[in-house]
Amino acid sequence: MAFTLSPPPHLLPPKTSRAGPSLFVCHSSSSSSRMGQQPRGSKLMEFPHLLDPHRDTMVSLLSAVESRLGSHLLPSSVPPDVEYYQNESGSSQGTLCVRSGIDSSPVDFILASWLHLEQPTGGGALDITNIAGYLKSSTDVPHFQFELVQCSPTYFILFLDLIPRRDTVRHPDYLKAFYEDTQLEACRQRLAQLPEVQPYFSSSLYFRGVVSPTGILVSIKCEEGGRERVEEIIREHIGPISNEVAGIWMDMCVGEGGGPGGEVREAERAELEKRDSFIKSKAIEMDLSSSLPKQFGQEVADRVLRVIRSVYKT
């Protein structure tokens, strides 16, 4: 699988509520929020194909983002034929939601998506869910990235990280403020101690360099416990840890006192933007520009990529 950086596309904005408090997840803060109970027309909110705890993890993360950062975000401006798209036969499907930050916010945009990719070799389907939070160059707080990939009913890959905006070798104070003092390593270790969890090495050397020193990039393989054990691991571990990391990130962005600093002087912004632009363009190049056309055909892929490129400003 060409799992690389993949702040890829696609998500789930309820078309029925293009503005208001619940742009990501309708009623997600209510415990009665289940996909089947979404208003008609909110196809993008259905999270089809996913195991329950996988869906719950996405809903919970989006709900937390909504509740904490909602006032920072504009409604999604993704056109309907990119909010939801599919290949000719309908066997592969994708969604995309992008909400840009308002002018006064440090948030550049939040991107969320799910993708259901039928494998051409008949090897089942990949189900990918993704939430990325990118910030402006007025702050050097790391970007947020969550991606959970179901490769088979008993095999998952998780990428959960706060992506550094600076070279941590050259800026040990940056590492201390955002990675050491925030105890992110404890999150990584809690997951790593499960016997089913193994470090995952991306095929992209570039991507390996993008990941932070506390980045969680792991495979979860449950040959023995089967689907039940996978569900347990997602529910008991991946969900809570993802929420914790997202919470740490949102504290950095908008916490009282503005988190552990992060304001960037005007003179340094160009350098930060340059580094960010490498990350973004590499992500598109590696993850999307070849795989999307293969999965959805050139026309659909062009449409989706155009939106993503405009958001990423690459």
Please, which of residues 188-217 interact with a second copy by CB under 8 A?
Answer: 192, 199, 201, 205-206, 208-210, 213-214
Pick the closer one to a second copy by CB: 215 or 259.
Answer: 215
How far apart (Å, rounded) are the C-alpha atoms in residues 220 and 242? 15
Q: What minimum distance in Å lies between the beta carbon of 221 and a second copy?
A: 15
Spatial contact of 251 and 127, defined as CB atoms under 8 Å apart = no
Q: Mark the segment that binds a second copy (CB under 8 A) among 23-31, 92-100, 161-169, 260-268.
A: 161-169
Minimum distance, C-beta of residue 204 to a second copy, in the bound complex (Å) = 9
User: 269 to each of 107, 166, 253, 259, 293, how far by Cα in Å?
Assistant: 15, 11, 17, 19, 34
- Shortest CB 299 distance to a second copy, Å: 30
- What string marks each residue from 106 to 145 as x (binds a second copy by CB under 8 A) or -? ----------------------------------------
Q: Which of 168, 219, 243, 314 binds a second copy (CB under 8 A)?
A: 168
Identify which of 190, 117, 186 has the alpha carbon closest to the alpha carbon of residue 149. 117
Q: Does 275 bind a second copy (CB under 8 A)?
A: yes
Check if the beta carbon of residue 175 is closer than 8 Å to that of residue 196.
no
Span of 28-36, 86-94, 168-176, 254-262 interacting with a second copy by CB under 8 A: 168-176
By beta-carbon proximity to a second copy, the closer residue of 205 and 267 is: 205
Report the nearest approach of a second copy to the CB of residue 288 (Å): 17
Q: Please give the size of the binding site for a second copy, defined by CB under 8 A.
A: 24
Q: Is beta strand 216-221 parallel, antiparallel or unpaired with respect to 107-118? A: unpaired
Q: Which of residues 170-189 bind a second copy (CB under 8 A)?
A: 170, 172, 175, 179-180, 185
Rounded-to-integer distance, Cα 123 and Cα 233, Å: 24
Does 279 interact with a second copy (rule: CB under 8 A)? yes
Rounded distance between C-alpha atoms, residue 269 and residue 138, angstroms:
7
Binding positions for a second copy, rule: CB under 8 A: 167-170, 172, 175, 179-180, 185, 192, 199, 201, 205-206, 208-210, 213-214, 274-275, 278-279, 282
